[in-house]
Amino acid sequence: MFVAIASAQLVARSFAGAALLADTAAPDDVQADLDAMRADLANLRRAQGEAWIDERRGAEIRALVSDVLSDSSARTQWAGSGDSFATGYDPSRGFFMGSADAQHTVHAFGFTQVRFNVSNGYDAAERTPSSETTWGMEVRRAQLFLGGNLDGPGLTWLIGLSIGAWNDPVDLQLVQQDPSSVNGTPASVSYLNVTKHLGDGLYVQAGSIFTPFTYESHLFSTAQTQMGECSMIEWLFTAAFTTGVSVGQLTDSVMWQTCFGNQVGTAPSVWDGAENQSIAMAGRLNWKLCGTWEQYLLETSFPDQPFGAFVGVAGRMENGRAANAAVDGGANPSALTGDVALMFGGANLILQGIWADQWTSRGSQSWGGLVQGGWFLGPAVESFASFAIADVVDIQSTLSTGLNWYIDRSSLKLTGRVMIPLAGSPDNFTSAVLPPQGLSGGDHPNNNVGVSVQLQASF
């Protein structure tokens, strides 16, 4: 642009100089115009020279990059295949490596949560504050996921590895059988499945699958939850894993998934095991009214995001046998749930309701509800509150509130949370799942309040 402007100025001044030479102007005037023309010509040459230098530098840089890539390709070829090997990091998918044509890839991502807890209770008999207050540090969760392509993006695989201080809702059935098993999680494989993508968002999946049922378990990992922990409703009613096959589809406005497998919530086992059902089915439908699916990668709404809303419904049922262990949820448990999620770009609201029959072997029906929301006080600071109520064993309700500081968006997050039981004195299974949420457990937990401060790092 500068070179073109200078050229136009030079041409204009040349015509002006010729006209002056033809006139009877004074020699001093002619000399002044000639001096001006020489100055413009010098400026033009200087500009053209700088442009040439920039082009030469660009060519040299491009040549250098090409040499580096060629050298890298020569050093990292698959043995005997001739395919170049690429590695790197992408915030959207973590660390990755694979063939340069992306036909065979491996990418790794994960997160860890370090938490400090303080819990205070009261004496059940005297109904007076207890002098006992407990506190401590723990690695709440550390999870690593490996995934990638198998001979192209049409066939993908996923493996999940998990370790932490407490089991998660994914181990619901195990905790029902042995409430003490919630304490401590050995390194174990959680996700292990292969997915075939059929086009137009349609896919088929086989292996260990997270049952498409509750709001949180279907859409988020725990690292993506707003409070850095599963809600009480998720702990009490999640369908956890099932072993089998799943079919689903993601379109512009609808996301649906259905699965067929063994007993919902159990680890992989033989077909005639006592813990297996003869058939188990579950399905979920999410209808996006507006916004983008990317907004729902997190259970919160950042200020720079547009308005979004969707409605979700789900159900599950099992046709069991008399041999099934009663503690595994009865012979024929079933459940329904519905939820609404609103994203306001700096604020969010979640409404969830659930109904279940034969909940943890109860002959009667159970139900639960959740209201949760957040509000950004600044670009990186969010306040949140959650109220959960459930009829399981007896009426239980809790209030949680706190703050999130997104130090580096979702990659580094500090959460402070206060959890207050409002009603109910749970025991057995329902008491066992309180410590993972930040409250005291035991036969008679009698909590006054629990306070958690958690630092989460994701990659």
Q: Was domain 109-458 assigned CATH 2.40.160.10?
A: yes
More confident: 150 or 139: 139
Q: Place 93 in a pLDDT band, splitting at 50, 70 and 90.
A: low
Percent of the chain with pLDDT over 90: 27
Between the ranges 237-251, 339-353, 392-406, where is the mean pLDDT highest?
A: 339-353
Average pLDDT of 360-364?
A: 56
Would you place residue 360 in the very low, low, confident or very high pLDDT band (cuts 50, 70, 90)? low
- Mean pLDDT score across all residues of the chain: 76
Q: What gap in Å lies between CA 16 and CA 27, rounded to an integer?
A: 15
Is the pLDDT at 298 greater than 70, yes or no? yes
For residue 389, give the 3-state DSSP assignment: strand
Query: What does the alpha-carbon distance between residue 434 and residue 424 come to, in Å, rounded to a whole number?
Result: 12
- Residue 324 pLDDT more than 80? no
Give 22 or 265, the one with higher predicted confidence: 265
pLDDT average, residue stretch 268-295: 80
431 versus 213: which is more confidently predicted?
Answer: 213
pLDDT at residue 369 greater than cutoff 90: yes
Between 135 and 330, residue with greater pLDDT: 135
Query: 227: buried, middle or exposed (CB in 10 Å: 19+, 13-18, 0-12)?
Result: buried
Interacting residues of 411 by C-beta distance below 8 A, sequence separation 6+: 91, 457, 458, 459
3-state SS assignment for residue 368: strand
- The dihedral through the CA atoms of 376, 138, 390, 293 has a sign that is positive
Q: How big is the CA angle at 236 (ends 230 and 240), to the nearest 5 degrees?
A: 75
Tell me the domain boundaries of the chain: 2-75, 109-458
Q: Which of 7-11, 64-68, 408-412 comes out lowest in average pLDDT?
A: 7-11
Instruction: Give residue-wise pLDDT tens across range 38-78.
Output: 555 555 444 444 433 444 444 544 454 444 444 444 444 44
Question: pLDDT tens for residues 414-459?
Answer: 999 999 998 776 666 778 788 888 888 776 778 889 999 999 998 8
